[in-house]
Amino acid sequence: MQEVMPATGVFSLLWLLIALPLAGAAILLFSGRKTNKWGPYLGVFTVFVDAIIAIWMLIAMMGNSAEQRTFSQNEFSWMFAGNLKVDMAFQLDQLSMVFVLLITVVGTLIHIYSLGYMSHDPDKRKFFGYLNLFVAAMLLLVLANNYLLLYVGWEGVGLASFLLISFWQIKPTAAAAGKKAFIINRVGDVGLSLAIMVMFVTFGSVGFDEVFGSTSQASEGTLTAIGLLLLLAAAGKSAQFPLQAWLLDAMEGPTPVSALIHAATMVTAGVYLITRSNAIFDAAAWAATAVVVVGVITMFMGAIIGSAKDDIKKSLAGSTMSQIGYMVLAAGLGPVGYVFAIFHLLTHGVFKAGLFLGAGSVMHGMNDNVNMRRYGALRTAMMVTYATFIIGTLSIMGIPPFSGFWSKDSIIHAAFESNTLVGILTIIAAAITGFYMTRMAAMTFFGKARWEDGVHPHESPKVMTIPLIILAIGSTFMGIALLFWGNIETWLEPVTGFEEKHIAIPEWALITITLILVLAGAAYGWIQYARREVPLVAPRGNWLTRAARQDLYGDAVNNTLVVQPSFWLSRFLVWFDGSWIDGFVNGSAAFFGGLSARLRPYQSGFIRSYALSMVGGAVLVVLALVLVRLS
């Protein structure tokens, strides 16, 4: 059993983790042009200090025994209404700790990278303000000790995501993408808010401890309902089926945003939510199964979309969907999978951030062109970007000893532990990963140069390449470090639980089969896109490619099922509002206005008539009294 420790020592700074970037955001967003010059550096500074505090906290936490690694800090009583009592209270345990580290460390690197990437943007200060706002909200999300406070962070990251996707709102596509992300996320948010309400009704509290401690009192039906609602929330935030459509459009935002929010941190909030709520899913088998199904579907959808897109960022976005699908399905497997979901989340956060930043670096050198059909042969032009991108590619494909191998292999193993079919599916998806990542690397860095006229690719400045190098180092060694030195299973076990089951296939055989399939996929990609000529205009392709280019018709489905009916409904409401509601309002306004005009003459200004009215009033008062007495 976990013992809850008071937040003393360095842990008394828990509130500061959130307050620092929040203050940064406030200063940057409200201070006006005067801070243009040093504002971005302030934005970097707050997150950097956060990262140092986080590392310090990690060291302090490792000094404690495994049962004494939960720290809680109660700031003040936040809400107090009837039976509902919610504190502004933070809780740092092993699970939150790894998230805090991911957010602050990767966040710092991306902030630094943005100094270079956004250096020519006139609204740089605003950009860093939004980034700080995002970091603050994301930290609130993972540090909250109750669902309601988590919800505040959840909405906060949604807002920051919206603001950053549509950061270049002059582009209609960016503005539309921001709105799309926001609206689809609302669907998930409704799920979360309903889940919180059901929890309050069932358990009388929304605190983590209270809810998880009393799951045995609730019926399985209730728990399943809560679990499914939480899954809906997670699907919205993590771009899982059926709420996946926004993530591809979200690539309209600046690339650092895609790296920080839409690859490393925010989109993994759904995985955090499911893992955090493990007590609920452990007691609701149907909900857990639904989680696995959603994860598997998204894993394939993302991989297929990633294989067909020519836009480098959208291809990466498809890959993100697919990898989060892995995490979600792992989280759905229960105690065999939670820790590996988080493990993969961490390694993915690092290598995917590196890949996105690498893509940004390529775009930086290619006049912001994202079409991979106009890339090619860039390995000589941008050495650092090339090297780091390849490391990221090997990592995501799951080639040993890169970090992705360890985490993905763990998930595949866990999948076989609980269900052979799911296990086989994860291996197939891994093979597709091999294909699309090789395709991306080949189209970008190998083959012949297919550059547009006037493009002179060049390496990015140091401020951008150094974060790439650091992330590449992480992509290489983090898996080994976390697994063998960090003991990720035993680290997370007190929070999420962990068990290992024996499977029929020996470990080495599973790894070998997986690797062969991945390499086969990679080889096919290499032959297709490095050996052969890549046409400048995409060929028609088979039906699957065409469907994948249309995001597997996600928009069409949304349009038919949701958008069109909404239009009809809103047309009806506009008509109803115009003819009935407005009619009533305008009619009553006219009535009272007319009444007012008619009463005005009695305010004549003559003192005698005022006095008369007072006498009348006195008579009225006395009469009223008498009437009451008589009646």
Partner 1 sequence: MNAVATVVHAVDVTPWEMPTLDYRLLAPVLIVLGAGVVSVLFEAFLPRGVRRPVQLTLVFVTLIAALVAVINLNGVRETAGQGALAIDGPGLILQGAVVVIAILGALLMAERGLDPNGDAFAARASSLPGSEDERQFTARGYFQTEIWAFFLFAVGGMMLFPIANDLLMMFVALEVMSLPLYLLAGMARRRRLLSQEAALKYFVLGAFASAFFLYGAALLYGFSGSISFGEIAASLGSKTGETALILIAIGLVVAGVLFKIGAAPFHQWVPDVYQGAPTPVTGFMAAAVKIAAFGALLRLLYVALGGMRWDWTPMLWVISILTMFVGAILALTQSDIKRMIAYSSIAQAGFILLGVVAVSAKGLEGAIFYLIAYAFTTIGVFAIISMVRDENGEATHLSKWAGLGRQSPVIATLFTIFMLALTGIPLTSGFIGKFAVFSAAYASGDKWLVIAAVVASLIAAFFYMRVVVLMFFTEPNEETAIVAIPSIFTTIALAAAATVTVLLGVVPQPLLDLIANAGVFIR
Q: Which residues bind partner 1 (CB under 8 A)?
A: 589, 592-593, 595-597, 599-600, 603, 605, 607, 609-611, 613-614, 616-618, 620-622, 624-626, 628-629
* Helix, strand and coil percent figures for the chain, each rounded to 5: 75, 5, 20
Smallest separation (angstroms) from partner 1 to the CB of 610: 4
CA gyration radius for the chain?
Answer: 29
Query: From the CB of 31, what's the least distance to partner 1, in Å?
Result: 18
- Run of H or E residues at 516: helix 507-526
Element (H, E) at 427: helix 420-445
Nearer to partner 1, 4 or 624 (CB): 624
Give min distance, CB of 488 to partner 1, in A.
45
Nearest approach, Cβ of residue 622 and partner 1 (Å): 4
Comparing CB distances to partner 1, the nearer of 82 and 605 is 605
CA-nearest of 295, 300, 337, 338 to 319 is 300
For partner 1, give the closer residue by CB, 173 or 586. 586
What stretch of H or E contains 137?
A: helix 124-143
Residue 91 parent element (H or E): strand 84-92
Q: Which is nearer to partner 1, 84 or 556 (CB)?
A: 84
Q: Which is nearer to partner 1, 88 or 109 (CB)?
A: 88
Amino acid at 466: I
In the bound complex, what is the minimum distance in angstroms from residue 616's beta carbon to partner 1? Answer: 6
3-state secondary structure of 93: coil
State the minimum distance, in angstroms, from the CB of residue 83 to partner 1. Answer: 18
Whether 351 and 389 have beta carbons less than 8 Å apart is answered as no
- CB of 1 or CB of 599, closer to partner 1: 599
Q: Which is nearer to partner 1, 170 or 599 (CB)?
A: 599
Whether 392 and 475 have beta carbons less than 8 Å apart is answered as yes
* CB-nearer residue toward partner 1: 65 or 596: 596
Coil/strand/helix, residue 22: helix
Q: Which is nearer to partner 1, 504 or 630 (CB)?
A: 630
Comparing CB distances to partner 1, the nearer of 576 and 610 is 610
Least CB distance to partner 1 at residue 630 (A): 10
Contacts of 125 (CB under 8 A, 6+ apart): 28, 33, 35, 36, 39, 40
C-alpha to C-alpha distance for 127 and 160, rounded to whole angstroms: 10
- Residue 120 CB-density burial (10 A; 0-12 exposed, 13-18 middle, 19+ buried): exposed
Q: How far from 539 is each of 50, 302, 317, 528, 545, CA to CA, in Å?
A: 48, 21, 22, 13, 10
Backbone phi, psi, residue 311, to 5° = -80, 120
b/e map 485-521, b = 16+ CB within 10 Å: ebebbebbbbbbebeeeebeeeeeebbeebbebbbeb
List, edge to edge, every strand of the sheet that includes 70-81.
Answer: 4-6, 70-81, 84-92
Nearest Cα neighbor of 264 from 167, 147, 348, 363 is 348
Q: Which is nearer to partner 1, 567 or 610 (CB)?
A: 610
**Measured between alpha carbons, how far is 502 from 259 in angstroms, rounded to an integer?**
37
Smallest separation, CB 152 to partner 1 (Å): 17
Q: Which residues contact 615 (CB under 8 A, 6 or more apart)?
A: none
Separation of alpha carbons 131 and 257, rounded Å: 8
Task: Give min distance, CB of 625 to partner 1, in A.
Answer: 4
Q: How far is the CB of 120 from partner 1 (least distance, A)?
A: 33
The owner of tokens 């091999």 is 434
Closest CB to partner 1 among 201 and 597? Answer: 597
Tokens encoding 51: 């990262």
SS3 state at 71: strand
Burial bucket for residue 466 (CB in 10 Å: 0-12, 13-18, 19+): middle
Question: At closest approach, how far in Å is the CB of 598 from partner 1?
Answer: 9
CB of 589 to partner 1, least distance (A): 7
Q: Is 504 or 597 the residue whose CB approaches partner 1 more closely?
A: 597
Q: From the centroid of its chain, how far is CA 271? A: 9
For residues 400 and 407, the answer to whether their CB atoms sit within 8 Å is: no
- Report the nearest approach of partner 1 to the CB of residue 607 (Å): 5
Nearer to partner 1, 509 or 626 (CB): 626
Give the shortest CB-30-to-partner 1 separation in angstroms: 15
